[in-house]
Structure 1
């Protein structure tokens, strides 16, 4: 009988005194992974890998964002205001200038080309409000408050929609006068920290008045809109849009016949507060009764190219349909209807009544009105009742256009109305014998 062989036990196994003899023998028969694999495990724990498809999407998105940032920086480095051009008649001679105004230096189109002739302008002027009130700005309201509340200047109003006045420290006033000088010459880079905290102040409108917003550069207006749209509540953002941004946009269009790139971007940023945009820019512009076709087209392109919640859009459609008609109303109605929302029946009925009001109007309606009607029947012909469809068909006998009315009539004649669908008898199931 031979001598029993010794079982070799590694140093690591000797240290583990809890392992039994049987388990130790079985463990010697199993191949153990090498130590080099432990390094790989540590790397797997420290790093998380993604598949090739997702990484390619991330890289493409990063390149796109980098390109957008570089383009934005290039645009902010150029002068904020375009050189003033002599005003020419809006005809074929002005079409080249309009094509130029629809793109920046990098060739990116940020609103559609506008071709306006004198006939379109005259047609819209027929529907403008002749007794329009002058547009109020932040400076006008501040001066009224100072005049009315000289004895109560220390009072702070609790209403969020009112201007809160305080007696300012001379050092604070001097500091924001320095900010005013910076914003007037701002092109790019960081803004003063004193300006960034303005939205958090109770008397932020009074501080803004010191900085003199009408003299801000266009790039400063864009940066200010970013800050105020992000940090103000909807009611306060509405006041900023209405008292600061809207007057600047209208003045720029009136003076240069085109909109500065930074101001267009500011309108897009304002849509981050859709309720404030509607109540502070769109509805006041239409209620003024003096909205031009150029203003409607450019601001409408902002609405058309950006996503807006259905609640805010439905409320805007309802208000536009109920207000006094101007040619710009048809522009915005067509843009909202082209978004193809699932509108409530109340909004659809309001749009129908809006068009039916013109059954007794003896004026020649502009082409924009007929285009809005065509868009409405194309998108929502199945949401009108049979009675409303018949009324719209009667309307076409009184208000017609040689190239649009025929298409509107065909859409209405082939419409399957909502009440017909509800009262349509259900087909009985066939009996199989």
Structure 2
């Protein structure tokens, strides 16, 4: 060993560098691995007995939870009473396995997302202009409580006129069921975060879900509970039933919150976003009833339209909504909603474009001063769909802007109409009205 070191010491510097940079084979160390276990192992008898006992206990707990509810089960356990027969709430109950995972994902989304402070700046002048186009005699708003009360009255009338076994809401349900869901309502009135009661997740699968939901007192829910409820009902109800939930529960809560605080709570804002994933239910349950009421304020329209602008909506649903809003009596909120959908730049059918043109043209003989929102909506329409209009439609719009003018917008509308092609000619539009005006000026 000493001789080898001495020989290496007398090597040249270049040779030592080359020897040091040269790759060397690493020494292999033998590691004793444990013998791999066989894939198919048998469970001992005592252990399998314990597993079966745990599975039976979990099954009994699930049955107890779905039949009696959390409150009744807790009462039975504390009192040590014997097990009572299962309640027939519904023949089959859908197991919602992904609700807890979705809830955890939503909570993580809330933690990562900064809280929205959407409080639009609304000037008093704009509010006064909007008030001129509101319905002076609006119809009273319907809530879930009003609908349930009407059903109760109808059943009472049916009992009085015919011999029937139907009974009122309070008497038709088992007292234990009423107690369970009233307890769920108390929990939802204090809910902030975490998992919801399992009994609440069963409501969408019930045939009488509206009556059961009324027992939980939706008016007292917290904003966080409203978001979780919207998430559950939008996922587990069809479009028709979800529409009723949005119209009778979600919409009144949103309007009351905006009216009281002049802004919308973050959880309610997220509820609106979640409801838009059922576009048919959103338009029929929230947007169109809001426009038909004639009492939609400028602040409400701006907040709801901001949700629509952030979420992708299918073209057919938006086309149907545009067609319906174009045929309604005009309110300032209609211009905001129409403009928001037009800004999505859909390839709209000609029928929808014709309806929107007629929507604007009918204001030619309107003596009222139209708000700036109306002129902005008209400008957006001609910018997006100027080449999808016929010659007659453009002539009608040119005649319209002669009567309804705005010092900063009308010139842009005229420029967009004149410097564009027509869908029936395929060439640049030449207005007969503008030509006649130019001839009169030259003379």
**Distance of 1:315 and 1:415 partners within structure 2:** 27
Q: Which residue of 1 aligns with 2:320?
A: 315
- Residues 269-290 of structure 1 show CA distances to partners (whole Å, capped at 9, x for unaligned) of 0011100000000000000000
Q: Aligned to 1:419, what secondary structure does the other structure show?
A: coil
Q: Which residue of 2 aligns with 1:121?
A: 127
The answer on whether the counterparts of 1:166 and 1:203 sit within 8 Å (CA) in structure 2 is no
- Aligned ranges 1:194-209 → 2 under 5 Å: 194-209=199-214
1:178 pairs, out of 161, 178, 183, with: 183
Q: Aligned to 2:195, what secondary structure does the other structure show?
A: coil
Q: Which residue of 2 aligns with 1:288?
A: 293
**Distance of 1:110 and 1:313 partners within structure 2:** 27
Give the direction of change, closer, same or farther, for the CA distance of 1:155–1:389 in structure 2 (3 Å limit): farther
Q: Which residue of 1 aligns with 2:282?
A: 277
1:331 pairs, out of 316, 332, 336, with: 336
**Distance of 2:341 and 2:417 partners within structure 1:** 20
**Distance of 2:157 and 2:361 partners within structure 1:** 53
Give the direction of change, closer, same or farther, for the CA distance of 1:73–1:180 in structure 2 (3 Å limit): farther
Q: Which residue of 2 aligns with 1:263?
A: 268
Q: Which residue of 2 aligns with 1:44?
A: none
**Distance of 2:131 and 2:279 partners within structure 1:** 29
Q: Which residue of 1 aligns with 2:142?
A: 136
In the alignment, structure 1 residue 169 sits paired with structure 2 residue 174: yes
The answer on whether the counterparts of 1:198 and 1:207 sit within 8 Å (CA) in structure 2 is yes
Q: Which residue of 1 aligns with 2:221?
A: 216
The answer on whether the counterparts of 2:133 and 2:332 sit within 8 Å (CA) in structure 1 is yes
The answer on whether the counterparts of 1:218 and 1:262 sit within 8 Å (CA) in structure 2 is yes
The CA deviation at 1:191 is 0.4
In the alignment, structure 1 residue 409 sits paired with structure 2 residue 414: yes
**Distance of 1:342 and 1:393 partners within structure 2:** 24
In the alignment, structure 1 residue 72 sits paired with structure 2 residue 122: no
The answer on whether the counterparts of 2:115 and 2:266 sit within 8 Å (CA) in structure 1 is no
Give the direction of change, closer, same or farther, for the CA distance of 1:423–1:256 in structure 2 (3 Å limit): closer
**Distance of 2:390 and 2:339 partners within structure 1:** 21
Give the direction of change, closer, same or farther, for the CA distance of 1:166–1:224 in structure 2 (3 Å limit): farther
Q: Which residue of 2 aligns with 1:147?
A: 153
- Residues 192-216 of structure 1 show CA distances to partners (whole Å, capped at 9, x for unaligned) of 0100000000000001111010110
Give the direction of change, closer, same or farther, for the CA distance of 1:166–1:361 in structure 2 (3 Å limit): farther
**Distance of 2:214 and 2:129 partners within structure 1:** 38
The answer on whether the counterparts of 1:176 and 1:207 sit within 8 Å (CA) in structure 2 is yes
Bigger Cα displacement from structure 2, 336-345 vs 147-156? 147-156
Q: Which residue of 2 aligns with 1:52?
A: none
Q: Which residue of 1 aligns with 2:378?
A: 373
Give the direction of change, closer, same or farther, for the CA distance of 1:165–1:406 in structure 2 (3 Å limit): farther
The CA deviation at 1:422 is 8.7
**Distance of 2:172 and 2:105 partners within structure 1:** 46
1:385 pairs, out of 387, 390, 401, with: 390
Work out the number of aligned pairs and report it.
324
Q: Which residue of 1 aligns with 2:346?
A: 341
The answer on whether the counterparts of 1:317 and 1:347 sit within 8 Å (CA) in structure 2 is yes
TM-score for both structures, normalised by structure 2: 0.69
The CA deviation at 1:70 is 3.5
The CA deviation at 1:421 is 1.6
1:350 pairs, out of 355, 366, 379, with: 355
**Distance of 1:301 and 1:71 partners within structure 2:** 19
Q: Aligned to 2:224, what secondary structure does the other structure show?
A: helix
Give the direction of change, closer, same or farther, for the CA distance of 1:272–1:356 in structure 2 (3 Å limit): same
The CA deviation at 1:173 is 0.2
Please list every run of 5 or more consecutive structure 1 residues that lacks an aligned counterpart in the other structure: 1-35, 37-65, 75-105, 157-162, 425-433
**Distance of 1:422 and 1:395 partners within structure 2:** 22
In the alignment, structure 1 residue 251 sits paired with structure 2 residue 281: no
Give the direction of change, closer, same or farther, for the CA distance of 1:107–1:199 in structure 2 (3 Å limit): closer
